[in-house]
Structure 1
Amino acid sequence: MYFEANVAALFLDRFHFSYFSQIKQTIKFNVALALSCECICNLLLQHLQINKPYSNFNVNVFYWSTASRPQFTNCPTMIVMVGLPARGKTYISKKLTRYLNWIGVPTQVFNLGQYRREVLQTYKNYEFFRPDNEEAMKIRKSVSDKCTSQVLDATNTTRERRGVIINFAKEKGYKVFFIESVCDDPEIIEANTMQVKLSSPDYENYDKEEALVDFLKRIDCYKMSYVPLDEEKDRHLSFIKIFNVGSRYLVNRVQDHIQSRIVYYLMNIHVTPRSIYLSRHGESELNLLGRIGGDTGLSSQGQKYAKALAEFIRGQSIKDLKVWTSHMKRTIQTAEALGVPYEQWKALNEIDAGVCEEMTYEEIQATHPEEFALRDQDKYRYRYPKGESYEDLVHRLEPVIMELERQENVLVICHQAVMRCLLAYFLDKSEDDLPYLKCPLHTVLKLTPLAYGCKVESFYLNIQAVNTHRDRPTNVNVARKPEEALQTVPEHL
């Protein structure tokens, strides 16, 4: 998939839309957009109209926040992608969106190419993208018209067109941050073109060689009007320029915390082929008893798994593999069997269950029934008394994610809650899904990052272990019966 326009954008923050009327209905709506900017303003306005259920209501807009959710910005931020086709804009947009969602900044990707295909059912050739093609410009205008009545009729690759976005942002009180991907390395461009662009729906009925020729001519069409960001002429703008997939960076006028985090993230990612292996520790003594947390060693089955894991890793013949563990006995004992150096991360320690440490679910229900119900109601944000929530754990794990993005092949031996958080990052899972991801004992997950996603392979090493996964029960009311609360508790000794 490619960007029709050479500028794409993300629009981030969380809004609360209140519709004041006789029933005073309140609706929470996440506005977070990443889109090619030929219709960025139109799409935003359309989004507001679609989510306005009663046309006679007045709309008040203000930021939605809770005490438990950190607020990274004091106003919405538009992140605008800039660059020629086959420069990795879609890759960067999707990866950045996934990261922002994971740290709690709701973000979504919109691609103008999809909107264009709805209007233009059949793609002919590169001539459509010539700036002097009047018929094509009418079609591109109709794409914008399809979004709303307001039209931004341009490819948005020039300084003037970027000015349209900046003016729109000023009107709405938004910040703007540009990310330009610059690439003049023929090998990188060819690899990106062959791997991603030729699989675009535009080239379904094309011969591979014909598709390549057409796409390269399409790039030439874009070059006719493309004006890169200039560190002198655009010095008043906030931006980062990424050269040749991270060989060099130019950062200008970073305005706030969220922009600095975006820059830091982009300077840590790379496209070198690699795999990340995730495994929980071997079965522990407390796992056998159905007790959460604690810091006990491995059971006899857990020790067998440690040996099986070592054999599995040797069989993979992984080049320059690094091994990471938590500071807890069960992960260290699992790593010891590998017979290789390993690095301990305190950030990889299991979620802190506070006053519930080393208790069974039955004991928690008996002594803290209200807390048990509250956790079932919102498992992601619920914080154990004197302990942590999954949301806390995600923020604790952010340095781990940054370092994983910098590394090549890594084996992470961790814990159930930690593995769920890491898996949710790579698979772009929601806050609701994250606490219920299945991460069974004695199973290795191999994650291989791809252009626009992540390939997951699961390896069960055939060493029996207890089940520690508890699904959300049907009844999460505080007044529920004990048997309803314990409905999904796995069996244990």
Structure 2
Amino acid sequence: MARPRKTNGIGIGVEDTQICVVMVGLPARGKSLIAQKAQRYLKWLSIDAMVFNVGNYRRQDSPQPGADFFDNSNEKGERMRRAAAEAAVTDMLKWFKAGGVVGILDATNSTKERRRWVKERCDAQGVETLFVESKCDDEALVMSNILEVKTTSPDYKGLDPETAAQDFRERIHNYEKVYQTIDEDESHLTYLKIMDVGKQVIINRIQDYLQSRVVYYLMNLHIKPRSIWLSRHGESEFNLEGKIGGDAPLSARGEMYAKKLPDLVRESVGDDRPLTVWTSTLRRTIATARFLPESYNQLQWKALDELDSGVCDCLTYQEISELYPEDFAARDNDKYNYRYRGGESYRDVVIRLEPIIMELERSENILIVTHQAVLRCIYAYFMKKSQADSPWMAVPLHTLIKLTPRAYGTQEERYDAKIPAVSTWRGKGSVAKHEDPTAATDAIGKGGDLPQ
């Protein structure tokens, strides 16, 4: 009996399609990073996705094993690793039965026999399989990933870094003894091979729209270590007046922030490498970025313009509550999906930001100077914030945010310019201009801006 038709909330009907994305690759090839990125991208687009990390299941019985645990001749280790894979796949298939759409099996899946077993289990339940192999022979990148793992993996928590690195190298060597890359013997499989962090991509037997959507995203990924810098524009005249939208100039304090921003960027980057700067087409973001070094290439994106508030543009929240009381209440009730009359919703902003996310994923050294709602949506993507919470996050003015994606989450650092700015975060039901933003759900930091 067919499952009921499902939609992901943004007009993409996935019907009965369910996909198991099966990661393939040696350790230190970025599989977990790719898996985490794929999950957060799909959930950001309202497609139900879940990562099933076999290592997490294995750690329940063997939390910090030595490299010999992963030697294929170690019968006990092999038995425990197989049991962990069985548990992960069983849980994933239960999740699919409950209505999950894209399950991501994060493991080495290093042999043809193991991949055949996964496919047979999924086939028996009518779940499609998409194998994603990350293959990398770039020694510098592999070493970088080893350094990443030894400092962030639960397997090496509390261990001496050099001891951890040596053990991890030995673990990789044990996998290399039995590793089988996807080749012509598996030409019947649907797969994507990412070679040397995207220098070459091989696609085989992609079957439907949802698979194509996942593959398109994964083709744009690279797994090189990098950071993304985010900043609000400086305080604007409309911020001071409590008005939303518009194209107001910077206030005097906003000008001070624009002049201070190059120093904040230099401090956070840590060296003199040039960044590419993306701003919106509105003058408050362009003005904020104008003192950055000439070596920084600057691009203006219409997609980074602030959420369009339609008929409420240039009004205060007090005026909106008086002129459009029903709309004011409806937006508070479901801020993510509420669309201003003649304007946009947060969901609309996410859709128009998808090309920005794609460019971010294939680029390096990007600084984005943008607006409150747009920054919330981008931040929610990297930090896996929920749709219910993201529109209410308090985003500080005059603060530079540095995000560094890692295999086990995204690291966040903040750099406060220490230039005062009006706090205009608004809580549900309130029309006040100045409130304490620390009451906001999942506040990014103190300070604030008009919550478009």
TM-score bin, normalised by smaller chain: 0.7 to 0.9
Helix, strand or coil at the partner of 1:62: coil
Q: Could you tell me how far apart the structure 1 residues matched to 2:309 and 2:366 are? A: 28
Deviations 1:108-152 (A, max 9, x none): 2222222222223563x33333334333344345546767999x9
Deviations 1:438-473 (A, max 9, x none): 2122222122333433332222223322223223x3
Q: Could you tell me how far apart the structure 2 residues matched to 1:132 and 1:330 are? A: 63
- Residue 12 of structure 2 corresponds to residue 70 of structure 1: yes
Task: Quote the offset at 1:73 in angstroms.
Answer: 6.2
Match of 1:490 among 430, 434, 440: 434
Deviations 1:262-282 (A, max 9, x none): 333333233444432212222
One-letter code of the match for 2:423? N
| Cα distance change on mapping 1:187 and 1:399 into 2, 3 Å | same
Q: Could you tell me how far apart the structure 2 residues matched to 1:258 and 1:148 are? A: 21
- Residue 329 of structure 2 corresponds to residue 373 of structure 1: yes
Task: Quote the offset at 1:346 in angstroms.
Answer: 0.3
Q: What residue in structure 1 maps to residue 55 of structure 2?
A: 113
Helix, strand or coil at the partner of 2:20: strand
Match of 2:72 among 127, 131, 135: 131
Task: Quote the offset at 1:348 in angstroms.
Answer: 0.5
| Cα distance change on mapping 1:282 and 1:217 into 2, 3 Å | closer
Task: Quote the offset at 1:75 in angstroms.
Answer: 0.7
Task: Quote the offset at 1:416 in angstroms.
Answer: 0.5
Q: Could you tell me how far apart the structure 1 residues matched to 2:419 and 2:309 are? A: 27
| Cα distance change on mapping 1:322 and 1:190 into 2, 3 Å | closer
Could you tell me the TM-score, scaled by structure 2's length?
0.82
Match of 2:290 among 329, 336, 345: 336
Residue pairs, 1:229-244, within 5 angstroms: 229-230=182-183, 232-244=184-196
Q: What residue in structure 2 maps to residue 285 of structure 1?
A: 237
Structure 1 gaps of 5+ residues are 1-58, 474-484
Task: Quote the offset at 1:417 in angstroms.
Answer: 0.3
Deviations 1:61-108 (A, max 9, x none): 434437655335651111000112222211211122222222222322
Q: Is the 2:423–2:433 Cα contact (8 Å) retained in structure 1?
A: no
Q: Could you tell me how far apart the structure 2 residues matched to 1:202 and 1:306 are? A: 44
Percent identical among aligned pairs is 47
Helix, strand or coil at the partner of 1:435: helix
Helix, strand or coil at the partner of 1:457: strand
Helix, strand or coil at the partner of 2:13: coil
| Cα distance change on mapping 1:183 and 1:368 into 2, 3 Å | same
- Residue 350 of structure 2 corresponds to residue 394 of structure 1: yes
- Residue 278 of structure 2 corresponds to residue 319 of structure 1: no
Residue pairs, 1:41-440, within 5 angstroms: 61-65=3-7, 68-71=10-13, 74-120=16-62, 123=65, 125-140=66-81, 142-143=83-84, 156-197=109-150, 200-204=153-157, 208=161, 210-230=163-183, 232-313=184-265, 318-338=272-292, 340=294, 342-440=298-396
| Cα distance change on mapping 1:333 and 1:363 into 2, 3 Å | same
One-letter code of the match for 1:191? S
| Cα distance change on mapping 1:380 and 1:233 into 2, 3 Å | same
Helix, strand or coil at the partner of 2:192: strand
Q: Could you tell me how far apart the structure 2 residues matched to 1:379 and 1:425 are? A: 17
Helix, strand or coil at the partner of 2:46: coil
Deviations 1:205-239 (A, max 9, x none): 76555544443343343334332211x22222211
Q: Could you tell me how far apart the structure 2 residues matched to 1:373 and 1:303 are? A: 35
Helix, strand or coil at the partner of 1:411: strand
Find the structure with the greater CA-based Rg: 1
| Cα distance change on mapping 1:462 and 1:169 into 2, 3 Å | same
| Cα distance change on mapping 1:385 and 1:173 into 2, 3 Å | farther
| Cα distance change on mapping 1:330 and 1:72 into 2, 3 Å | farther
Helix, strand or coil at the partner of 2:50: coil
Q: Could you tell me how far apart the structure 2 residues matched to 1:279 and 1:106 are? A: 30
Helix, strand or coil at the partner of 2:129: strand
Q: Could you tell me how far apart the structure 1 residues matched to 2:359 and 2:287 are? A: 23
Q: Could you tell me how far apart the structure 1 residues matched to 2:89 and 2:430 are? A: 51
One-letter code of the match for 2:147? M
Q: Could you tell me how far apart the structure 2 residues matched to 1:238 and 1:148 are? A: 19
Q: Could you tell me how far apart the structure 2 residues matched to 1:146 and 1:380 are? A: 36
One-letter code of the match for 2:255? Q
Task: Quote the offset at 1:436 in angstroms.
Answer: 1.7
One-letter code of the match for 1:258? L
Helix, strand or coil at the partner of 2:214: helix
One-letter code of the match for 1:331? T
Q: Could you tell me how far apart the structure 2 residues matched to 1:147 and 1:343 are? A: 44
Task: Quote the offset at 1:184 in angstroms.
Answer: 2.6
| Cα distance change on mapping 1:61 and 1:74 into 2, 3 Å | closer
Residue pairs, 1:466-481, within 5 angstroms: 466-471=422-427, 473=428
Structure 2 gaps of 5+ residues are 94-106, 436-448
Q: Could you tell me how far apart the structure 2 residues matched to 1:388 and 1:397 are? A: 13
How many residue pairs get aligned? The number is 418
Q: Is the 1:155–1:161 Cα contact (8 Å) retained in structure 2?
A: no
Helix, strand or coil at the partner of 2:185: coil
The answer to which of 248-257 and 316-325 deviates more is 316-325
Helix, strand or coil at the partner of 2:130: strand
Task: Quote the offset at 1:189 in angstroms.
Answer: 2.6
